[in-house]
Structure formats: structure tokens, C-alpha cells
A and B are shown apart, each in its own frame.
Chain A
Amino acid sequence: SQQGEEDPQALSIQEGENATMNCSYKTSINNLQWYRQNSGRGLVHLILIRSNEREKHSGRLRVTLDTSKKSSSLLITASRAADTASYFCATDETSYDKVIFGPGTSLSVIP
């Protein structure tokens, strides 16, 4: 079962611009996380937002969560070429002891 769905599938922006990625999910969750993956590597955890939180910041990252719409967004401000990677949202369903990942957004930041 695929819980999260990211949008857009691919995003290309100029260095210095902001990048926004969205994630939608289907069931009740305990928390939602965002991960980053450089090509051919493992995933790296970026940020976790709990179901009772609405917004969270970490450096240039800003995550929002709307549980009524079952959606989240990840904003990367002042993007850099080094931000080029795939970004995945992951949800921790309340009914199951597992973390489910969406298909990801591929971000390209052009210098």
C-alpha cells in the first residue's frame, strides 16, 4: 500500500529560488517525515512533524502539516546546487508499526 504521494514528480529551479514539494496521504498518522536521497545513496532524515503540529522549521527547511486535508509541504528556501536530490515524504500510520514512503520528488537546482 502506498501511503504518501508527492507532487510534483520532478522540479527544476534556478539556484537561489525556493522549492516547494507537496505530499498527500490517505490514513491517520502519528507523524510525517521528509527524507532526502542523493543518486544511488541511502536516504537521510531531514525533519519530522508530529500530527499535532502545524509547522516546523530547520535551517532552510520549512514543513507544514494539514491533517484535515491529509497533506504536507516541504519548502526549501534559497536553494543551492547541492540541494539537487530526490525528496521523499514518509508517514507513520497509527494502525501499523511501519513507515511508508511516497514515490518522491526529484529536485534539480541549476547553478
Chain B
Amino acid sequence: DGGITQSPKYLFRKEGQNVTLSCEQNLNHDAMYWYRQDPGQGLRLIYYSQIVNDFQKGDIAEGYSVSREKKESFPLTVTSAQKNPTAFYLCASSITRVANVLTFGAGSRLTVL
């Protein structure tokens, strides 16, 4: 079955550590996105990529980094520079920029201890 796989589902991190969240899709979608969701809040865009080897900052990119070396993969690194990283992270993809119906993964919950 086609879909988006995010891993790990739960992740604990000590302050000062970088962590990488994985996002893999087998939908053959060109565009991929990372969103952050805080309790009771909507989604805020961190980074997005419309094509391999290219990505753009969203509204809250500071303290995060991404890469898009393969069409299927869009990993997100939460660096130690991110001051409040505890959140629920959602990866999504869409066929192209046009229409932009998003398919979401199940999410990764990051807790900083």
C-alpha cells in the first residue's frame, strides 16, 4: 500500500542533542512538507520541497534543517539551536504543487528531557 512512513513514532532527547526524524513516501509525489504541531494548536510549516535537491524555508525554519537527496525521502533534523523542540512533527507529501492535496504520515512525537 502506498503511503508515508514517519519514524520514530516517539523520541526522547536530551537538551543540546541533534535528532533526525525520518519521512519516507512511496506515492511518487514530487512535493514534501514538514509541519510542527503544538498541543491544541494548528500546524506550522517548517520546510517544504517541491523537487529533489531543492527546498524552501517555511514559517518556523530556525533551528531545523532538511535534505532532499531522493524523491522518496525528506528527513528533518531538529538541532540544538531549536529552543523549544518538544512537539508533534508531521510529514506530508503531494503529487505536485498544483492542487496540493496533502497526504500525511502518522507523526513523530519529540520530547526534550
Q: How far is the CA of A97 from the CA of B90 in the complex (A)?
A: 18
Give the total of B residues in contact with A, Cβ under 8 Å. Answer: 29
Check: B106 CB closer than 8 A to any chain A CB. yes
Name the CB-closest residue of B to A41: B106
Q: Chain B interface secondary structure, helix, strand, loop or mixed?
A: strand
Residues of B near A90 (CB, < 8 A) are: 102
Q: How far is the CA of A44 from the CA of B3 in the complex (A)?
A: 12
Q: Max chain B CB contacts within 10 Å: which of A31, A88, A97, A104?
A: A97
**Are B48 and A88 touching (Cβ within 8 A)?**
no
Q: Mark A84-111, 1 if CB is under 8 A from B, else 0.
A: 0000101010000111111110100000
Q: Mark B52-66, 1 if CB is under 8 A from A, else 0.
A: 000010110000000
**Are A33 and B56 touching (Cβ within 8 A)?**
no
Residues of B near A30 (CB, < 8 A) are: 100
Check: A43 CB closer than 8 A to any chain B CB. yes
Q: How far is the CA of A2 from the CA of B59 in the complex (A)?
A: 9
Q: How far is the CA of A41 from the CA of B90 in the complex (A)?
A: 9
**Are B90 and A42 touching (Cβ within 8 A)?**
yes
Number of A-B contacts (CB under 8 A): 62
**Are A102 and B42 touching (Cβ within 8 A)?**
yes
Q: How far is the CA of A54 from the CA of B48 in the complex (A)?
A: 29
- 9 A-B pairs with C-beta separation under 8 A: A42-B90, A43-B43, A48-B101, A88-B42, A92-B99, A100-B45, A101-B43, A103-B41, A104-B41
Interface, chain B (partner A; CB < 8 A): 4, 33, 35, 40-45, 48, 50, 56, 58-59, 88, 90, 92, 94, 97, 99-107, 109
A30-B100, A42-B106, A45-B101 known, 17 other contacts, Cβ within 8 Å = A33-B100, A33-B101, A33-B102, A40-B109, A42-B105, A43-B92, A48-B101, A88-B42, A97-B48, A97-B56, A97-B97, A98-B56, A99-B45, A100-B45, A101-B43, A101-B44, A104-B41
